[in-house]
Chains A and B, each alone.
Chain A
Amino acid sequence: QKEVEQDPGPLSVPEGAIVSLNCTYSNSAFQYFMWYRQYSRKGPELLMYTYSSGNKEDGRFTAQVDKSSKYISLFIRDSQPSDSATYLCAMSALYKNAGNMLTFGGGTRLMVKP
């Protein structure tokens, strides 16, 4: 079983829809939770960064973390064709004498159709 599980999709939605992307994880030591967006043939870029449980909102994007269920979500409101990309969840824990090790999900490919 992978440490971080993410539905690979593809997820196809019409423009304007609300999109829900999710990841589950098994390591209860994870404290930092991130969502990256990756366009085709490009490097990932950070969208949202959350510490511990709770919600965080940034424009059309909302990140939720439920540590009790080991479940994180990214919601995209009023989705646009420009949101079409692969979304990667990532998480990490601060281990003594260890570096900033990010563990990534496999990514969900999102397609927003005009």
Chain B
Amino acid sequence: DGGITQSPKYLFRKEGQNVTLSCEQNLNHDAMYWYRQDPGQGLRLIYYSQIVNDFQKGDIAEGYSVSREKKESFPLTVTSAQKNPTAFYLCASTPSGRVNTEAFFGQGTRLTVV
């Protein structure tokens, strides 16, 4: 079955640590996205990538970094510079980055700072 796989489902981070969230898709989609979801605030865009080896900052990119070395993969690193990283992180993809089409989401990673 085609879809988006996020791992791990739950992640705990100590103060000052960098952690990386995995996102893999087998839908052959060009564009991939990372969103952060906090209670009552909907989804906010962190980073997006329209094609391999290219990515752009979203609305809340500070303290995060990404890479897009393969079409299927778009990992997100939450760095120690992100002061409030506890949230639910969602990865999504669309067939094309230039045409508005349905976004497919993964099942999310819940990150907690301990």
Contact = CB atoms under 8 A, between A and B. Distances in A.
Interface string A83-114: 00000101011100001111011110000000
Interface of A: 4, 6, 8, 31-32, 34, 36, 41-46, 49, 88, 90, 92-94, 99-102, 104-107
Contact of B102 (A46, A101, A105): A46
Nearest to A42: B107
Interface string B35-52: 100001111110010100
A6 B42 contact: yes
Interface residues of B, number: 30
A41 to B, nearest CB: 7
A42 B3 CA distance: 14
Nearest to A105: B42
B43 A43 contact: no
B90 interface: yes
B98 A43 contact: no
A4 B44 CA distance: 12
Nearest to A91: B100
Given A43-B107, A45-B105, A99 B42 contact: no
